[in-house]
Structure 1
Amino acid sequence: MTVLVFNEFEAFAEMVLEASMTMRLGSLAEPKWTLNAATLGSLQVRQAYQGGGSVMEGATGSDGWSFYHSSRLTLANGQAMDETGVFVAPPGSEFCFACHEGKIDSLAVFIPTSVLFPSSEKLELASSVNARL
């Protein structure tokens, strides 16, 4: 597992960003950000702490599903997601997460489509799903 600690938002955002994602600082409660990342076979897990609110937008990868959970009230594609919610995004989905207040703990998991849906029948059903809470 990789553990990184930052005292500047820009350095944190640079390590978090995927090729098709942008990230902006919305508010600052504490100048501290951490990122814990692990790869388990083809699964990717990232746990992050942000010392303030932010806005992240982009698109998920084309070869897998992304799951996102936040410890604070977050707008996920315009819908309110509380601390019990999980945002699920199929391959190639656009997303926008906005959390404007407080310190945030979040968890993101990426699972390849072939791991989630090993049969073509399940994959066909899954291909009709849109990103949602």
Structure 2
Amino acid sequence: MRFCMRNISIDLYKLISSSLLFLLFSTLVTVGFVVVLTGSVNRLFQLDVHLSGIEMALSVVMFVSLPFLVGRFCYYFYLMVKRGRREGVQIFCYKNLFNPFNFLLFPSLLNAYGQESRRRCFVSVILLFCIYALVFFVGSKQ
């Protein structure tokens, strides 16, 4: 089954199969770590080992994705400011209130390329907030 949006095509079979393959690989790596470090298989069936594994996986996701998303935001923001402005709109001018970050708030100052870069900047910011919320809620339960 395939869903198509404006410029994005999602193939559910590939998405689910790659997700299941990643879960299988993660499970095998976790089992290997627990067996090698503890020397017994009995620890695999304890709840604290599973919770520690989940916390470790969330930490890895956070430490890998945060710098990536910040870099992605900076890259697309640079492209939006550099190539995405309409003709006659300067980086620092009264139209954007002398603040380049206001290009994110005023899409009328951007051409089609700039609006696409603006959308990608917003996706990066939303994913950053989701990761921060996840870390906040997981960290507050301990």
Q: Normalising by the residue count of structure 2, what TM-score does the alignment of the two structures yield? A: 0.21
Which structure dedicates a bigger proportion of its chain to strand? 1
Which structure dedicates a bigger proportion of its chain to helix? 2
Q: Normalising by the residue count of structure 1, what TM-score does the alignment of the two structures yield? A: 0.22
Name which structure has the greater RCO, CA cutoff 8 Å, separation 6+: 1
